[in-house]
A = this chain, B = another copy of it.
Amino acid sequence: MESTDRDDGPAFQSVFENRVRFAETDLQGIVFYGEYFTFQDEAVTEFFRQIGYGFEEMIDRGWQTHVANTELNYREGAELGDVIENELRVVEFGTASFTSEYRARRKDDSSLLADGTVTHVAVDLETDETIPVPDEFREAIAAFQGGLESIE
């Protein structure tokens, strides 16, 4: 539950922006907490797409990713019409996995709505077994976000 709002490490990339949809609110009048994982996933998808690793491009290379773990802290509720800025940076690489930090901010006043992490594993398309994260992918990430050094 610790904050991810730090200045060290590679820079957060603002990769996806969305206006809160009516269908995403619940009867408490704010965005349902589970919806943020849809936004988080879209931020990941968009981040990878921008560095040449869209879903189809990964498939063409013979691998894909699965989510192994995710965690979010909720700071403030988002309301209908709010525009959300979704930011991501990859902060850690394991043998067959990598962990990204995610932040959702209200665009209007930059206030933090939610933040947390998501860990993906790399999986071979044919065997469905985990594989080492490809070096080229790691390098494309480093080039995009300005480095890979762990922030731990």
Integer count of this chain's copies in the complex: 4
B-binding segment of A5-13, A70-78, A100-108, A133-141 = A70-78
A32 at the interface (CB under 8 A from B): yes
Query: Which A residues from 13 to 34 make CB contacts under 8 A with B?
Result: 18-19, 21-23, 25-30, 32-34
Do the beta carbons of A70 and B21 come within 8 Å of each other?
Answer: no
A127 at the interface (CB under 8 A from B): no
Minimum Cβ distance to chain B for residue A108 (Å): 14
What is A's interface to B at a CB cutoff of 8 Å?
A: 1, 18-19, 21-23, 25-30, 32-35, 37-38, 40-42, 45-46, 49, 54-56, 64, 66-74, 77, 80-81, 119
